[in-house]
Structure 1
Amino acid sequence: MDASSSKPTRSRLSWLNGIFLSGALILAAAFIFGASRSVSEEGRPLPAPTVDEPVTAAVETAVFAGGCFWGVQGVFQHVAGVKEAVSGYAGGKAEDAKYQVVGTGRTGHAESVRVTFDPKTVSYGRLLQIYFSVAHDPTELNRQGPDRGTQYRSTIFPTSDEQAKVAKAYISQLDAAKVFSKPIATTIEPGRSFYAAEAYHQNFLTLNPSYPYIVINDMPKIENLKRLYPEAYRAEPALVAVAKPTH
Structure 2
Amino acid sequence: MRRSLFSRLSLCAFAGALAISTALVAPTFAAEEAVIIPAPTADASATTGIQTAVIAGGCFWGVQGVFQHTAGVVNAVSGYAGGSKSSANYTAVSTGSTGHAEAVEIKYDPAKISYGKILQIYFSVAHDPTQLNRQGPDSGTQYRSEIFATTPEQKKVAEAYIAQLNAAKVYKKPIVTKLGMLEAFYPAEAYHQDYLTLHPNQPYIAYNDIPKVENLKKIFAQNYIEKPTLVSASKVTN
How far residue 26 of structure 1 moved from its aligned partner, in angstroms, is 1.6
Q: 2: CA distance between counterparts of 1:188 and 1:8? A: 27
Give matches, 1:215-234, under 5 Å: 215-234=206-225
Q: Which residue of 1 aligns with 2:9?
A: 8
- Describe the SS at the equivalent of 2:146: strand
Give matches, 1:130-209, under 5 Å: 130-209=121-200
How far residue 45 of structure 1 moved from its aligned partner, in angstroms, is 1.4
Amino acid at match of 1:230: A
How far residue 242 of structure 1 moved from its aligned partner, in angstroms, is 7.5
Aligned partners of 2:81 and 2:182 also within 8 Å: no
Q: 2: CA distance between counterparts of 1:30 and 1:125? A: 37
Aligned partners of 2:194 and 2:232 also within 8 Å: no
Amino acid at match of 2:112: T
**TM-score (norm: length of structure 1):** 0.90
- Describe the SS at the equivalent of 1:104: coil
**TM-score (norm: length of structure 2):** 0.93
Q: 1: CA distance between counterparts of 2:132 and 2:226? A: 30
Give matches, 1:1-247, under 5 Å: 2-3=1-2, 6-8=7-9, 10-15=12-17, 18-20=18-20, 25-31=21-27, 34-35=28-29, 37=30, 41-241=32-232
Amino acid at match of 1:160: T
- Describe the SS at the equivalent of 2:231: coil
Q: 2: CA distance between counterparts of 1:28 and 1:226? A: 29
The alignment of Structure 1 onto Structure 2 pairs a total of residues equal to 231
Q: 1: CA distance between counterparts of 2:59 and 2:142? A: 9
Q: 2: CA distance between counterparts of 1:76 and 1:210? A: 19
Aligned partners of 1:44 and 1:228 also within 8 Å: no
Q: 2: CA distance between counterparts of 1:125 and 1:77? A: 17
Amino acid at match of 1:80: A
- Describe the SS at the equivalent of 1:189: strand
Compared CA separation, residues 4 and 91, structure 1 to 2 (3 A): farther
After TM superposition, what 4+ stretches of structure 1 lie above 6 angstroms from structure 2? none
| Percent identical | 55
How far residue 55 of structure 1 moved from its aligned partner, in angstroms, is 1.2
Q: 2: CA distance between counterparts of 1:142 and 1:30? A: 23
Unaligned runs of 5+ in 2: none
How far residue 44 of structure 1 moved from its aligned partner, in angstroms, is 2.0
Q: 2: CA distance between counterparts of 1:75 and 1:161? A: 25
Over the residues paired in the alignment, what is the CA RMSD in angstroms? 1.6
What are the Cα deviations for residues 179-222 of structure 1, in whole angstroms up to 9, with x where unaligned? 00100000002132100000000000000000000001000001
Q: 1: CA distance between counterparts of 2:104 and 2:148? A: 10
How far residue 58 of structure 1 moved from its aligned partner, in angstroms, is 1.4
Aligned partners of 2:75 and 2:231 also within 8 Å: yes
Unaligned runs of 5+ in 1: none
